[in-house]
Structure 1
């Protein structure tokens, strides 16, 4: 029952990038990493079993999940820039000019310790997928195959965070850097080994309360001062872990609710990847009408409803024309 959660996290990222609400999107990215660590470890153990055939099928499914939608959105962004070169005014989105830059954009691999530093990116939020792919690989080759390996991975990830305070003390080294993603992924993988604890079997209202705590921690405590901000990073990991295990144990007997959860979850990837492109489309359609903060290239909240209407309609097309079409292929490799 993680579909609605994934889409809520994607919306949080949109609120940061498009409407300028601080911190919530950043914390949601790390929440995504914790969730991915849990789910990838879970399916490797339960579905693919760390065999050569399982490894192959795992990666076929990952490629089918990540790339078809991404390449379609990439092509659309290129088309928008070529047809309407003025469309990306004020944004940092530009066409690649070298083979290396094109390769980075098409492969989703931005080869830098901090992938956000690689420019240009036609779909700016795609940097996080570099981190995802690297840790998918590590999980698929067995970094979380046993409980001891998982604990050792978690231990080394904690050491990295301690190291950053002594030698870097820069937020990016604990957020966008590839090693920074190791801790949330390791926490997520550890959850696989804790999933059967009865402590996490709670009523659904508890999940909602913990999600509210997650929102409060991200929006409120991260902005008081640097000390509370640093503490809130780790509180975020703990809250994410509890919410994931609560939802894992949530039992919904109503099949309609399960279908809704699955359907809403399909929109998370399209939302996440396309939201900057939808901003450009929005400006083409509405010519901002005073809804754009030009200094920050963010929309005012007067644009909230029309922006999300366009985003949902666009994502509906992506989900029904692409996502559903590749389901049959994916099911063959589970």
Structure 2
């Protein structure tokens, strides 16, 4: 989610922060009556913003060729993995504490599931669980896999099976990071291509999603976790950047701030927008409206907020909030506090510590590598 530009030190910080909070609310309770966009649209919005920023930094910061591509890959890994590994360690420690002191510490119960089932796992299954926890790759795939007598088994309706492989991940929300990592692999070779190729790729991705939808693949995990379908959202972000660069837009006056207000407003009132299938059937009407307005707004909001330090700082919290909130939510044990403030406030506080202690030093190191 840097999923979902989760964690890139770029602008649009307040909007990215709200989308991260929407995911926290999705996994806990409303916050003073607000539910925002819900997790699905929040993640898809991040995918689109991420595509825009990926195309931009490839165009502006990284030279073409082997050296530039290697620098792009290594800097992306430096941004994602250190914070992920810290959160993973915290999740494991909380899980261990939950076993020793269950009256004080509560977790997702992943450790208990792994320990109880380990002796029955096929060696390939055991290796898969270790690798996807340590290196993210496989967490998203786990939503499509069920366990049958310790053996991994793919199913088009894996959600009907218990357990599924993602249930053995200490940071299961990192499934979106797996998608980002795979998009990173393709970005230097595709996001720099011509407008016709980008537009054709968008049409292909959305057509494939539509064909799957009318053939029954219309629910979790197919509706927002399957890379070939979600890739179209990254591509829209890249296409928007190319249009922005082509038009050489530099100043937008009050338009950018107006569109930021519009996006914040849509984020807040999303639950009252019209539901039901829209003109693009795989998406609800509200989902289509939100993502279309977001696509139009991204470059204008980026220009308006690019020099705002407060907005940037707020945006730095989005990635660690996304990663750490499933440590916080179980610790609340269903007691989410006055109007649901505990998960939001405590996740934000933990994220601020992660951003300050881990994110900022790494960001300075990454920038030095680019400048060198």
Q: With structure 2 as the length reference, what TM-score do the two structures score?
A: 0.76
> Structure 1 residue 66: deviation in Å?
0.2
Q: What is the aligned partner in structure 1 of residue 208 from structure 2?
A: 160
Work out which of the residue numbers 10, 19, 29 in structure 1 matches 2:29. 19
Return structure 1 stretches of 4+ with deviation > 6 angstroms. Answer: none
> Structure 1 residue 134: deviation in Å?
1.0
Aligned pair 1:208/2:261, yes or no? yes
Q: What is the aligned partner in structure 2 of residue 294 from structure 1?
A: none
Work out which of the residue numbers 323, 344, 349 in structure 2 matches 1:273. 323
Contact preservation (8 Å) 1:214, 1:240: no
Q: What is the aligned partner in structure 2 of residue 123 from structure 1?
A: 171
Aligned pair 1:66/2:50, yes or no? no
Q: What is the aligned partner in structure 2 of residue 239 from structure 1?
A: 293
Contact preservation (8 Å) 1:30, 1:184: yes
> Structure 1 residue 48: deviation in Å?
1.0
Q: Which has the higher helix share?
A: 1
Aligned pair 1:43/2:53, yes or no? no
Query: More displaced, 25-34 or 114-123?
Result: 114-123
Gap change, CA 1:106 and 1:251, over 3 Å in 2: closer
> Structure 1 residue 303: deviation in Å?
5.8
In structure 2, the gaps of 5 or more residues are 1-10, 119-125, 146-164
Contact preservation (8 Å) 1:135, 1:182: yes
C-alpha distance in structure 1 between counterparts of 2:96 and 2:80, whole Å: 25
Q: What is the aligned partner in structure 2 of residue 188 from structure 1?
A: 237
Q: What is the aligned partner in structure 1 of residue 348 from structure 2?
A: 312
Query: More displaced, 40-49 or 145-154?
Result: 145-154
Contact preservation (8 Å) 1:191, 1:241: yes
> Structure 1 residue 199: deviation in Å?
12
Work out which of the residue numbers 16, 37, 45 in structure 2 matches 1:6. 16
> Structure 1 residue 305: deviation in Å?
2.8
How many equivalent pairs are there? 313
SS in 2 for 1:168: coil
> Structure 1 residue 317: deviation in Å?
1.7
> Structure 1 residue 204: deviation in Å?
1.0
CA deviation profile, 1:282-330 (whole Å, cap 9, x unmatched): 34xxxx5xx2xxxxxxx4x626333333223322221121112212321
> Structure 1 residue 92: deviation in Å?
5.7
C-alpha distance in structure 1 between counterparts of 2:348 and 2:214, whole Å: 44
In structure 1, the gaps of 5 or more residues are 292-298
Work out which of the residue numbers 45, 56, 71 in structure 2 matches 1:57. 71
Contact preservation (8 Å) 1:279, 1:307: yes
> Structure 1 residue 51: deviation in Å?
1.6
RMSD: 2.7
Q: What is the aligned partner in structure 1 of residue 158 from structure 2?
A: none
Q: What is the aligned partner in structure 2 of residue 137 from structure 1?
A: 185
Gap change, CA 1:277 and 1:124, over 3 Å in 2: same
